[in-house]
Amino acid sequence: MLNSAAWSPDDAAHAVATRGDTDVVWLSSTDRGASWSAPGVFSGPDAATRTAPFIRVDDRLRLHAVWNSMETGNVEVFYGCADTTGIEEPGTPGLPPVRAVLCPNPTRGMIRLASRSGAVLFDRDGRAVAGLVPGPNNVRHLSPGVYFVHQASGAERDGPNTAKVIVTR
């Protein structure tokens, strides 16, 4: 169910919705709603019920969402962020391109992977330099530069998911 929508300075439309009881997802459209991106997942890997997501877009084209959850048995407010400026890489032929949900990007030491499964971080030479888990990941040990996050197919969607992330000091 669609819960909130926002427009970015580049005139793209962004929406946040609940999928089932446990997922908070976002979608984007750059053609006035004629087509939409594959859903990006804001919420974490547990099975807590999510309700009332709300979305806003900042001037750097990052999506910010808040929602309620009963994760600990109490009503809590959660926050998620997605960078819409990342490079989309094509997935499996015939499927829409997908994007890892990473925030912040660029990062100075911590990167959040909004996903139900982990990913691998590769340097520009294709060497695996870190395993990423859902939620916050410490990348302070990495040298500044461009890295690539890759989720294997079937992790969130039916195709590989690769995104660029920049690590700064």
The pLDDT assigned to 10 comes to 76
The pLDDT assigned to 21 comes to 74
Which pLDDT band holds residue 129 (cuts at 50, 70, 90)? very high
pLDDT surpassing 80 at residue 117: no
Of 17 and 82, which is predicted with more confidence? 17
| Residue 69 and residue 109 share a domain | no
The pLDDT assigned to 160 comes to 52
Residue ranges making up the domain that contains 119: 102-167
Q: What are the backbone dihedrals phi and psi of residue 121, each rounded to the nearest 5 degrees, phi first? A: -100, 125
Separation CA 121–CA 10 (nearest Å): 29
Read off the pLDDT of residues 21-65 as tens digits, 9 standing for 90 and up.
778 888 888 887 888 887 877 765 566 777 888 888 887 777 888
The pLDDT assigned to 151 comes to 77
Query: ∠ at Cα 104 (115, 13), nearest 5°?
Result: 75
| Residue 59 and residue 21 share a domain | yes
| Residue 109 and residue 77 share a domain | no
| Residue 109 and residue 78 share a domain | no
Which pLDDT band holds residue 143 (cuts at 50, 70, 90)? very high
In this structure, are residues 81 and 158 in contact, taking their beta carbons and an 8 Å threshold? no
| Residue 71 and residue 37 share a domain | yes
| Residue 75 and residue 25 share a domain | yes
| Residue 68 and residue 13 share a domain | yes
**Could you tell me if residue 95 is inside a domain?**
no
Read off the pLDDT of residues 56-111 as tens digits, 9 standing for 90 and up.
888 777 788 888 877 666 777 777 777 665 444 444 344 333 344 566 677 878 88
Helix H or strand E segment including 162 = strand 161-167
pLDDT surpassing 70 at residue 16: yes
In this structure, are residues 102 and 115 in contact, taking their beta carbons and an 8 Å threshold? no
Total domain count, the chain: 2
| Residue 74 and residue 126 share a domain | no
